[in-house]
């Protein structure tokens, strides 16, 4: 195992209080009707992440948008003819959409919807990390700011990270990895690469507990355990499937098991239920006895998104006073686009059989 980046302590990120939107059926219906009208007036399409509320996911699909992971959200926005992209998710997702769609207006329900991984990796500190190791290729997870992406050599998603790192390792490169130490350690284990790891973590996935998961699995022995690789190694070790959000949804649809224990943000359950209506989904525990809840697996920044905020933002756009638009300095955007494009080119080449990774 390669040494970690020698920071004195791991970054401490304090998440905001959980404030999930609660609506009556009448409020929900009225807000959706209002939003749909405003979207037409602004030539807008809504892209929502799997971890956002069921209301936003449903609205995205009802209006011809999409529900997906952060990269596919940006790619969908690029292919869609709408001039305005509404990104329901966290800020780095809005930035990624803007990086790949500079000609479009990108707005979000709440620009304060951050990400603990993004916050744990400030651009200046990451630049110093790179400067201290000029002999290493820098690879960053998509959950980072535009400025960090601009400084990196490669951007990866959880679904393709291991393949790209294995490819770089086979090319003889030593690597820097940021910001998620758990995902980085997982990728290092499966690829065998020499990696220096940043010490960030996701506040949701880091909270999953292996011992409590073992107990839950003992109560449901026929359940398949699905784990996102941002989780700790001890939790990943218990998994039947380790994968990205899209890969975990596909596992629920594909596997014959009737029950699944899911170690990722519970916002994904809405899409999982749609993909496999007859399956039973159980939340992996984030704490043991004596805790205030056995599973609080939901991102408080994702919960900042809601129909009320979306309606308010669109109303402000209609009046020419929107403050929730994503802006990125062009020099940063252009550099970040290069590191993202490397990933997209790799994915296309690998799919076409032009890259062979071997065992």
User: pLDDT for 176-190, tens place per residue?
Assistant: 999 999 999 999 999
Predicted pLDDT of residue 11: 74
Measured over the CA atoms of residue 313, residue 317, residue 323 and residue 325, the dihedral's sign is positive
| 16 domain residue, yes or no | no
| 232 domain residue, yes or no | yes
Q: Is the pLDDT at 5 greater than 70, yes or no?
A: no
Q: Are both 313 and 263 inside the same structural domain?
A: no
Q: Are both 220 and 72 inside the same structural domain?
A: no
Q: Are both 175 and 93 inside the same structural domain?
A: no
Cβ contacts of residue 124 below 8 Å, gap of 6+?
Answer: none
| 18 domain residue, yes or no | no
Question: In angstroms, what CA-CA distances link 146 with 71, 218, 293, 335?
Answer: 13, 43, 35, 9
Predicted pLDDT of residue 55: 98
Domain that holds residue 339: 117-203+334-351
Q: Are both 129 and 95 inside the same structural domain?
A: no
Q: Are both 188 and 209 inside the same structural domain?
A: no
CA distance 143 to 204: 13
Q: Are both 323 and 347 inside the same structural domain?
A: no
CATH number, domain of 215, equals 3.40.50.10800
Q: Are both 87 and 162 inside the same structural domain?
A: no
| 11 domain residue, yes or no | no
Predicted pLDDT of residue 323: 73
Q: Is the pLDDT at 3 greater than 50, yes or no?
A: no
Measured over the CA atoms of residue 84, residue 86, residue 91 and residue 92, the dihedral's sign is negative
Q: What is the per-residue pLDDT across 201-238, written as a single tens digit (0 to 9) for each?
A: 999 999 999 999 999 999 999 999 999 999 999 999 99
| 343 domain residue, yes or no | yes
Q: Are both 183 and 249 inside the same structural domain?
A: no
Question: In angstroms, what CA-CA distances link 175 with 29, 121, 134?
Answer: 50, 17, 10
Query: Does residue 163 sit in helix, strand or coil?
Result: helix
Q: Are both 191 and 263 inside the same structural domain?
A: no
CA distance 270 to 57: 8
Tally of CB atoms within 10 A around 136: 18
| 45 domain residue, yes or no | yes
Inter-residue contact 154 to 347 (CB < 8 Å): no
Q: Are both 220 and 263 inside the same structural domain?
A: yes
Largest CA distance in the chain: 60
Mean pLDDT of the chain: 92
| 2 domain residue, yes or no | no
Q: Are both 277 and 345 inside the same structural domain?
A: no
Count the domains in the chain: 3
Helix residue ranges per DSSP H, the chain: 25-41, 54-62, 70-79, 91-100, 116-119, 123-132, 146-151, 161-170, 181-191, 210-219, 233-236, 245-254, 269-275, 307-318, 330-351
Confidence bin at 2 (pLDDT 50/70/90)? very low
CA distance 28 to 308: 9
Predicted pLDDT of residue 78: 86
Q: Are both 311 and 246 inside the same structural domain?
A: no
Q: Is the pLDDT at 138 greater than 80, yes or no?
A: yes
| 104 domain residue, yes or no | yes
């Amino acid at each position: 195992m390669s040494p970690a980046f020698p920071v004195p302590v791991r970054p401490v990120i304090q998440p905001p209080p959980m404030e999930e939107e609660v609506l009556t059926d009448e409020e929900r219906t009225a807000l959706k009707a209002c939003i749909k009208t405003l979207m037409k007036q602004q030539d807008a399409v809504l892209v929502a992440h799997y971890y956002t509320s069921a209301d936003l996911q449903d609205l995205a699909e009802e209006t011809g948008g999409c529900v997906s992971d952060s990269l596919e959200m940006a790619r969908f926005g690029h292919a869609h003819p709408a001039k305005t992209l509404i990104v329901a998710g966290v800020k780095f997702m809005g930035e990624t959409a803007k990086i790949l769609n500079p000609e479009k207006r990108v707005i979000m329900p709440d620009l304060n919807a951050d990400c603990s991984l993004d916050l744990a990796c400030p651009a200046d500190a990451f630049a110093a990390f790179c400067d201290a190791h000029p002999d290493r290729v820098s690879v960053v997870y998509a959950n980072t700011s535009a400025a960090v992406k601009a400084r990196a050599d490669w951007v990866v998603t959880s679904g393709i990270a291991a393949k790209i790192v294995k490819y770089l390792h086979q090319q003889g490169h030593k690597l820097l990895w940021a910001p998620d130490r758990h995902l980085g350690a997982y990728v290092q284990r499966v690829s065998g690469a020499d990696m220096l790891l940043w010490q960030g973590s996701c506040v949701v996935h880091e909270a999953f507990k292996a011992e409590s998961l073992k107990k839950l699995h003992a109560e449901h022995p026929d359940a398949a355990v699905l784990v996102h690789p941002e989780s700790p190694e001890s939790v990943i070790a218990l998994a039947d499937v380790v994968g990205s959000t899209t890969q975990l949804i596909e596992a629920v649809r594909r596997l014959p098991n009737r029950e699944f224990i899911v170690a990722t943000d519970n916002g994904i359950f809405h899409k999982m239920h749609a993909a496999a209506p007859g399956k039973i989904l159980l939340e992996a525990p984030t704490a043991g006895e004596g805790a205030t809840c056995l599973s609080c697996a939901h991102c408080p920044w994702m919960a900042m998104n809601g129909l009320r905020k979306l309606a308010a933002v669109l109303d402000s756009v209609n009046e020419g006073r929107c403050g929730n638009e994503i802006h990125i300095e062009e020099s940063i955007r252009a550099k970040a686009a290069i590191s993202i494009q490397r990933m997209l080119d790799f994915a296309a080449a690998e799919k076409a059989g032009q890259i062979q990774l071997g065992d």
